[in-house]
């Protein structure tokens, strides 16, 4: 069994596991052992998925190894292709909470995300799929891949053409570490920020892409606290790229509903509306 094998390989003793909710792809467990408290993630095996959903444990292990040096990110204890054991950070997910100082938290989050974005990679794209020499080549390939996934699963996506905006993407010259899934469920806090978790969807690319999940279904330019913490100022070309990254994430969210068996019509409506709005920004 992967769970017991991973715990044994990590050298934990008297380990007890408790399933944790909230995971939409991997199985997640809280682990209590003599050595401390940990979180174990186990890959789902050979179930259907999207093109980029390959060897995600390798990517998350990379993200944790690099991210934990500069931000509140779990440290890797053990990792292989099917499992990741990492330190358990304090705090609880921010999603749905009203007991946090939101302006303070967003400023701290902006600072932490900026530290992640200062980490530079060897190329552009998803590390598990092979890197590219330019961000334009990498992102256009990522965008084409999810549209091919949609066709494979019978999901109809609105037409989109990024090539007329290629110059905006050519401006990105440095491959930054991007988490790309920093919605409130993956941000931990107690009285302040304590953790950024679930970095399995990370890639090397444009920091502007981070602002999609940081303002899911909304506009990051309305979040003055986060932007002041990050120190980012938008340009017209950055806004064009942001619209493309929104279209990319919302295309993923619509397409992945099929292999995951989601049947929530209201969620589909919300995502479709957000995708349409993003694509309008690219007309």
Residues 89 and 193: beta-carbon distance below 8 Å:
no
Q: Identify whether residues 172 and 251 lie together within a single domain.
A: yes
Q: Where are the alpha helices (DSSP H) in 68-173?
A: 102-117, 135-152, 166-170
**Does the pLDDT of residue 163 top 90, yes or no?**
yes
Ramachandran region, residue 65 (left: φ > 0; alpha: ψ -120 to 50; beta: rest)? alpha
pLDDT at residue 49, rounded to an integer: 87
Model confidence pLDDT, tens digit, residues 100-148: 999 999 999 999 999 999 999 999 999 999 999 999 999 999 999 999 9
Q: Identify whether residues 163 and 249 lie together within a single domain.
A: yes
Q: Identify whether residues 179 and 202 lie together within a single domain.
A: yes
Q: Identify whether residues 43 and 70 lie together within a single domain.
A: yes
- Split at pLDDT 50, 70, 90, the class of 44 is confident
Q: Identify whether residues 194 and 230 lie together within a single domain.
A: yes
Angle between helix 135-152 and 236-255 (nearest 10): 30
pLDDT at residue 22, rounded to an integer: 59
Q: Identify whether residues 54 and 105 lie together within a single domain.
A: no
Determine the 3-state secondary structure of 29 from DSSP. Answer: strand
The pTM of this model reads 0.95
**Does the pLDDT of residue 11 top 80, yes or no?**
yes
Q: Identify whether residues 79 and 120 lie together within a single domain.
A: no
Q: Identify whether residues 115 and 74 lie together within a single domain.
A: no
Residues facing residue 132 across a β-bridge? 124
Q: Identify whether residues 137 and 152 lie together within a single domain.
A: yes
Q: Identify whether residues 77 and 195 lie together within a single domain.
A: no
The closest alpha carbon to 3, from 31, 36, 35, 33, belongs to 31
Please provide residue 20's backbone torsions phi and psi, each rounded to the nearest 5 degrees.
Answer: -110, 140
Last-in-domain residue among 87, 106, 128: 87
Q: Identify whether residues 137 and 203 lie together within a single domain.
A: yes
For residue 110, the enclosing domain spans 92-280
Alpha carbon distance 220, 239 (integer Å) = 10
pLDDT at residue 1, rounded to an integer: 56
The structure tokens listed for 90 are 């304090």
CATH code for the domain of 33: 3.30.200.20
Q: Quote the number of domains for the chain.
A: 2
Centroid of chain to Cα 195: 14
Sheet holding 92-93, edge to edge: 92-93, 187-189, 193-196
**Does the pLDDT of residue 73 top 70, yes or no?**
yes
CATH code for the domain of 242: 3.90.1200.10
**Helix, strand, coil distribution of the chain in percent, nearest 5:** 45, 15, 40
Determine the 3-state secondary structure of 9 from DSSP. Answer: helix
Percentage of the chain with pLDDT > 90?
A: 85
Please provide residue 166's backbone torsions phi and psi, each rounded to the nearest 5 degrees.
Answer: -55, -35
- Biggest CA pair distance of the chain: 59
Q: Which of 79-88, 174-183, 254-263 has the highest mean pLDDT?
A: 174-183
pLDDT averaged over every residue in the chain: 94
pLDDT at residue 24, rounded to an integer: 57
Last-in-domain residue among 55, 70, 87: 87
- Split at pLDDT 50, 70, 90, the class of 283 is confident
- Split at pLDDT 50, 70, 90, the class of 81 is confident
Q: Identify whether residues 121 and 78 lie together within a single domain.
A: no
pLDDT at residue 225, rounded to an integer: 98
Last-in-domain residue among 68, 87, 106: 87
């Amino acid at each position: 069994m992967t769970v017991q094998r991973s715990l044994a390989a990590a050298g934990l003793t008297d380990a007890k596991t408790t399933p944790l909710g909230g995971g939409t792809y991997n199985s997640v467990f809280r682990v209590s052992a003599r050595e401390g408290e940990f979180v174990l993630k186990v890959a789902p095996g050979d179930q259907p998925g999207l093109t980029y959903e390959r060897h995600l444990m390798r990517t998350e292990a990379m993200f944790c190894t690099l991210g934990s040096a500069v931000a509140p990110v779990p440290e890797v204890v053990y990792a292989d292709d099917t499992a990741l054991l990492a330190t358990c950070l304090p705090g609880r997910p921010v999603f749905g909470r009203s007991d946090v100082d939101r302006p303070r938290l967003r400023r701290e989050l902006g600072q932490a995300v900026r530290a992640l974005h200062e980490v530079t990679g060897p190329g552009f794209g998803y590390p598990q799929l092979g890197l590219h020499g330019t961000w334009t080549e990498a992102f256009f390939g990522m965008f084409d891949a999810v549209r091919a996934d949609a066709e494979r699963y019978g999901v109809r996506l609105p037409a989109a053409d990024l090539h007329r905006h290629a110059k905006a993407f050519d401006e990105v010259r440095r491959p930054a570490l991007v988490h790309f899934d920093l919605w409130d469920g993956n941000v931990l806090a107690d009285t302040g920020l304590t953790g950024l978790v679930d970095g399995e969807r990370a890639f090397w690319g444009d920091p502007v892409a981070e602002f999609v999940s940081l303002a899911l279904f909304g506009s990051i330019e309305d979040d003055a606290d986060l932007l002041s913490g990050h120190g980012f100022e938008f340009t017209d070309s950055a806004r064009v790229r942001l619209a493309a990254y929104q279209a990319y994430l919302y295309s993923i969210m619509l397409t992945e509903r099929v292999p995951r068996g989601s049947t929530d019509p209201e969620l589909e409506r919300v995502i479709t509306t957000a995708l349409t709005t993003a694509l309008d920004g690219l007309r």
